[in-house]
Amino acid sequence: MKARLILLLSFLLLVQLCLPAKAADSLVVRKLVYQVDLRDDVNSFTWTQIQKGFAQAEAEGADLILLNMNTYGGEVLYADSIRTRILNTEIPVCVFIDNNAASAGALISIACDRIFMRTGATIGASTVVDQSGEVAPDKFQSYMRGIIRATAESQGRDTLIADGDTTYSWKRDPRIAEAMVDPDVEIPGVIEKGKVLTFTASEALQNKYCDAIVQNKEEILLKQYGYSDYELKVFQLSVKDKIAGRLMGTALRAILIMIIVAGIWFELQSPGIGFPSIAAGVAAILYFAPLYLDGLVQYWEIILFVAGVILIFLEIFVIPGFGIAGILGILAVVLGLSFALIDNTGLSFDFRGLEMLDEALVLVILSMLIAFIISLWLTSRIGIGKGMFKHLALESVQEKEAGYVAVPAIDKSIIGKTGLADTDLRPSGKVRIGDVLYDAVAEVGYVEKGKNIKVNRLENAQLYVEELK
């Protein structure tokens, strides 16, 4: 009996000695980390990459999103969209500033839960500039100051109690964030008035705009987060998403607008539907499709653009002169292209959308003016000189000796005469007046073959007739 008891106790002891190691191993849960790169100018392409990368990380239940950054900045619209996406995700987000987080990059970095910088990296200089590099008007600076200050405040503040006094300390001081935009902000010991703030890695660490200085991503995951076992997935855009992201770039959008305008212009210079119409149609599809897929374009904006094009064609081909229809058509085209660039729901626009409206209008109007000027120049050059434009115009001469004869002029006395429709007029066809056949157009509706007609007017050797009831 004793031998069995000793044997049982020995077995239990052996099991107990083996269990802790196995149990400890089972308690280590492998972490899933998603790396999303932002190593380009902040634009439509990087916004698409961030948007898709965060969506995939959320779908797979990632434990951490690591934003790998090296950017000199970019467009404010997309920077604001990216920082909003970061603030709205439930997954912790950290940024590794590999070298630069300038301008829009600083705004995006401040939105992240933790900021890590490599030695030699910088963050700051978020003043808004225009396409030429000049400082933008104050209303744009005011908007940027507001969003970067609000982004810093979103990180919260610590409550400190000392000697019965309660004080609050921002985790990221909003005034420091504002000083990255506004040179008029002065913070003693940090930045003097008249300069835009940019931090080195050590300065950012000292002022709580950097959580640690690291040299690589592995150091962040192992030392800062304590992930001893993790899987690092690097997000890559699909080919379709890459194309869509590039098509939404500001420069390419301007080129597409110019192709649309030039296509319409050259189509109006020649009869029928040809290459200019096809080019304008393809450019319009490439302009609206990525914006629609991204949720920026509403149906009414596309309808407004199409209605504008129809009004322009009606003004030129149907309505004599140039009046209200043409003006409304041009206005509808401009507004359709401009509103497509602004994020809105239905017919409602938030403050940010209205702030960006003037920028969208400037882009569209300038692109249309440039396209119109180039089109006029090309039109004046076609068929002239010895260059490539000479062969775009018909050069042959219709000589009488070759059998070409002019159409005889029609006497205006024919106005008021009656005859028969020799063919159906739908609305054009042929009519017989006396023993002579004429090309004619029905003024109202269709005229069936054999019906009595009356000539109302004569324009450009073309008879306009109506059916006699």
DSSP 96-143: EEEEEEETHHHHHHHHSSEEEE-TT-EEE----B-TTSPBPPHHHHHH
Give 209-226 pLDDT, tens digit per residue. Answer: 999 999 999 999 999 999
pLDDT at 402: 58
Lowest mean pLDDT across 93-97, 227-231, 245-249, 434-438: 245-249
Is the pLDDT at 268 greater than 50? The verdict is yes
Q: For residue 11, with 0-12 CB atoms within 10 Å meaning exposed, 13-18 middle and 19 or more buried, which class applies?
A: exposed
- State residue 64's pLDDT score: 96
More confident residue, 378 or 130: 378
The CATH class that applies to domain 29-238 reads alpha beta
Query: For 292-306, 345-359, 401-415, 432-446, which range has the lowest pLDDT when averaged over its residues?
Result: 345-359
Whether the predicted pLDDT of 387 surpasses 60:
no
Mean pLDDT value across residues 294-298: 68
Mean pLDDT of 262-289: 77
Going by pLDDT thresholds of 50, 70 and 90, the confidence category of residue 172 is very high
Better pLDDT: 158 or 384: 158
User: What confidence score (pLDDT) does residue 114 get?
Assistant: 96
> What pLDDT is stored for residue 132 in this prediction?
62
CATH 3.90.550.10 matches 403-467: no
Whole-model pTM: value is: 0.60
Is 25's pLDDT higher than 60? no
Phi, psi of 154, rounded to the nearest 5 degrees: -65, -20
CA–CA gap between residue 361 and residue 211 (Å, rounded): 41
User: What is the mean predicted confidence (pLDDT) over 311-334?
Assistant: 78
Domain locations along the chain: 29-238, 248-381, 403-467
Element (H, E) at 49: helix 44-59
Q: What is the pLDDT of residue 399?
A: 61
Task: Tell me if 168 sits within 8 A of 174, measured CB to CB.
Answer: no
Q: Which of 308, 291, 279, 294 is nearest to 360 (CA)?
A: 291
Percent pLDDT > 70 in the chain is 77
User: Does residue 231 carry a pLDDT above 50?
Assistant: yes
| Geometric angle at alpha carbon 9, from 6 and 12, rounded to 5° | 150
Cβ atoms of residues 63 and 221 within 8 Å = no
